[in-house]
Amino acid sequence: MLMLHHMKSRPGPGRAPAELGTRVAGAAIVAAVAVVFVRVARNGGAWTWGAEMLIAIALGLIAAGFALVRIARGSGESRDNTDSGPAGATMADAREGFEGDPISESDAEDLAPGIKARAAAVLALVVIGFLVFFLTRPARAQGASQQVAYVLQRGTDTAFVERAMISDATVSGDIAMRGGPRIAYVAERRDLLNVPRITFRVYAPGAPVESMPVQHGSLDIIPDSVIIQVEAGGANQRVASPIGGNPVPLFNGSIALLDLMVARARAAAGSAYTGTFVLVQGAGIRIEARVQFVGRDSVMIALGPVVHRMSLDQSGRLSGGTIPTQDATISRVTGAAAARISLGRPDYGAPADAPYTAEEVNVRSPEGHTLSGTFTYPRNVVGRAPAAITITGSGQQDRDSYISLVPGYRPFRQVADTLGRRGIAVLRLDDRGINGSGGDVAKATSADFANDVRAAVRFLRARADVDPDRIVLIGHSEGGMIAPMIAATDSKLAGIVLMAGPASSGRTIIDFQLRNLVMGDSAIPATRKDSAVKAQFAAWDSTAARSPWMQYFLDYDPIATLKRVKVPVLIVQGGTDQQVTPDQAPIIEKTLRESGNRNVTLHLFPNKNHLFIADSVGFPGNYRLLRDGRIDADVMGPLAEWVVLRTKPRVTP
């Protein structure tokens, strides 16, 4: 009895393996369920039974089954070796009861089944843990990082270059768009399918690489919403948009970020997939993306009405393709060569068969900066030639007024060519900050840009080959607002041409444009349009508060200036224009006539948009669908005839 009193108490050897088996079975079920739900979360909430998930569940259950079988065998062995006494205790148990006594060989044999069962359970749990960890992760990228460049061309015109460094942790990109700002971004990856945060810096068009950004900020994706924070000019803006579905951030034209959506589609293990992008530069506008795989090496990606037909490399990444509606071709360059890809400089020279020459010039401004440009001069002119000066629209543009969205859209190159063939010289200049043009852009207003044009007028009047009394101004959009500013103070001008020039204040124009962009965008659901409009207005108001140009533009009244214009005026207006609406053209005409200007001509082209391209709708969001950026002869003809009439060039037969 004394020995039994000092003996250590423990459960029967068959009970522990049974309890352990139940626990391991539960762990296996929990692990399998965890695999399912983690995979669903990785796929943005989509319930897809991909091969990885099925393998994870099967292997997890096999591991759990192995543990249960091993435990059952251990339990059987324990029962076979256990004495049938009422207490279930053996003499070996009694001997173990004396503290400090060594365990005999028979005791070790008694304990072996339990130890084996526990070891098998631990092994099974370890295997399950590894399966959950590895098989719920997306497939890893091949290699630590990849350097790529995507080049978008429309015909022979390179419109867009994106250089990117892609790794498991980040996608770092640099986007350069012809005539547009340069954007540098870093997309932080939670894994290969999810980007919870993207930071970005925006540089002025044509700004040197070492220049400071004019804007920087971040976009954070949190459950059911995105938060965009932007800092520019020392002021901060924060916009929150209610967007769910775990979207992917996107900059216009980015192929590297588009590739992230394709990766999600692959992970979903189906032939079709629908996801969500959030447009970083659109105050968080949601864009639905529809991905459709065509075989193993091709994919179609629809962003609203725009379809990308892309090819895939062996690892499933985008390797090139086309955008049929934009007549655009996308190619990919990899490796060290990607770092050397750049937009390059357009050819501003004269065509080989042109009856005029093209000269690179620099115009000095009274403020001290220079403006780079091209001066075309007719070969067959007699005496001093008449001349025209082109004035670009809002935003920093090059001398051709190039817009990358529309293939071949270089309206002022067309103007120079058309007038040059009729004996009229043309001076077209780069805006401040573009190519070789200097000057302060951040603090400049339309009045400052008008001073740049005045410097161009003085430049021409100082040339011995130009008639100082036969100079006309041709302005488009904001340029159509600036031309009257100069004409109101310079009666020596031979005339001005207003292409889609405004009659309304900037505030009226911007209010219409912002609302119209949202309401006309089919990618924004009707239930979200009101909130999207509010977000657009909030973003604009925040930006306008720190932008001298925007403040000037919002408050400027063109009518007061038009009343002081006495030189001949040609008003050219597109009938489907949804940026400067066609109802403003008759107001300009009426204002000029009522102010005593009798030399006013109005041409309204019913089926032309703001760019003076044939377009029955004219919605700016559909410019990317336009196939040809050349202005038709029915617009260029009347414009050229009016300028010839006002300047009377003399040419040899």
Q: Would you place residue 52 in the very low, low, confident or very high pLDDT band (cuts 50, 70, 90)? A: very low
Q: Is 319 a member of any domain?
A: yes
Q: Are both 193 and 101 inside the same structural domain?
A: no
Q: Are both 591 and 475 inside the same structural domain?
A: yes
Contact 27, 87 (CB under 8 A): no
Say which amino acid occupies 359.
E
pLDDT beyond 60 at 40: no
Q: Is 198 a member of any domain?
A: yes
Lowest model confidence (mean pLDDT) among 10-19, 232-241, 377-386 = 10-19
Contact 428, 411 (CB under 8 A): no
Q: Is 346 a member of any domain?
A: no
Q: Are both 332 and 222 inside the same structural domain?
A: yes
Q: Are both 306 and 321 inside the same structural domain?
A: yes
Q: Which residue has the tokens 């304990």?
A: 111
Lowest model confidence (mean pLDDT) among 60-69, 264-273, 545-554, 572-581 = 60-69
| Token pair in block for residue 75 | 């339990």
pLDDT value, residue 181 = 82
- Measured CA to CA, the distance from residue 404 to residue 623 in angstroms comes to 10
Q: Which of 105, 135, 165 is the last residue of a domain?
A: 135
Q: Is 188 a member of any domain?
A: yes
- Measured CA to CA, the distance from residue 18 to residue 154 in angstroms comes to 72
Contact 392, 479 (CB under 8 A): yes
Contact 305, 247 (CB under 8 A): no
Angle at 648 between CA 645 and CA 649, to 5 degrees: 130
| Token pair in block for residue 17 | 């393996």
Average pLDDT over residues 161-190: 86
Q: Which residue has the tokens 């997939």?
A: 273
pLDDT beyond 90 at 382: yes
Contact 267, 44 (CB under 8 A): no
572-602: pLDDT as tens digits? 999 999 999 999 999 999 999 999 999 999 9
Question: What's the number of CA atoms in the CB half-sphere (13 Å) around residue 322?
Answer: 6
Distances (CA, A) of 425 to 230, 253, 387, 467, 653: 44, 37, 4, 10, 17
Say which amino acid occupies 428.
R
509-568: pLDDT as tens digits? 988 888 887 787 766 777 777 877 777 777 666 666 678 888 899 999 999 999 999 999
Q: Are both 56 and 187 inside the same structural domain?
A: no
**What are the backbone dihedrals phi and psi of residue 332, each rounded to the nearest 5 degrees, phi first?**
-120, 135
Average pLDDT over residues 199-210: 76
Q: Which of 307, 340, 373 is the last residue of a domain?
A: 340
Q: Is 345 a member of any domain?
A: no
Q: Which of 80, 104, 135 is the last residue of a domain?
A: 135
Give every strand in the sheet of 370-378, ordered side by side: 356-364, 370-378, 425-429, 385-391, 466-476, 495-499, 569-574, 600-605
Per the structure, how many domains does the chain have? 4
Angle at 212 between CA 210 and CA 214, to 5 degrees: 140
CATH of the domain at 374: 3.40.50.1820
- Measured CA to CA, the distance from residue 282 to residue 543 in angstroms comes to 13
Q: Is 350 a member of any domain?
A: no
Say which amino acid occupies 322.
T
**What are the backbone dihedrals phi and psi of residue 422, each rounded to the nearest 5 degrees, phi first?**
-115, 15
Q: Are both 131 and 10 inside the same structural domain?
A: yes
Q: Are both 307 and 361 inside the same structural domain?
A: no
Q: How many CB atoms lie within 10 A of CB 362?
A: 13
Residues in the chain, total: 653
Q: Are both 562 and 551 inside the same structural domain?
A: no
**What are the backbone dihedrals phi and psi of residue 342, each rounded to the nearest 5 degrees, phi first?**
-150, 165
Q: Are both 164 and 111 inside the same structural domain?
A: no
Q: Is 351 a member of any domain?
A: no
Contact 446, 552 (CB under 8 A): yes
pLDDT value, residue 259 = 92
Q: What is the pLDDT of the chain when averaged over all its residues? A: 81
Q: Are both 330 and 226 inside the same structural domain?
A: yes
Distances (CA, A) of 533 to 107, 267, 457, 527: 80, 34, 41, 12
Say which amino acid occupies 352.
A
Q: Are both 301 and 388 inside the same structural domain?
A: no
Contact 580, 501 (CB under 8 A): yes
Average pLDDT over residues 192-221: 82
Which of 538, 506, 443, 449 lies closest to 233, judged by CA?
443
Q: Are both 541 and 595 inside the same structural domain?
A: no
Strand partners, 250: 279
Q: Is 653 a member of any domain?
A: no
- Measured CA to CA, the distance from residue 343 to residue 345 in angstroms comes to 7
Between 243 and 78, whose confidence is greater? 243
Structural domain range at position 363: 356-505+557-647
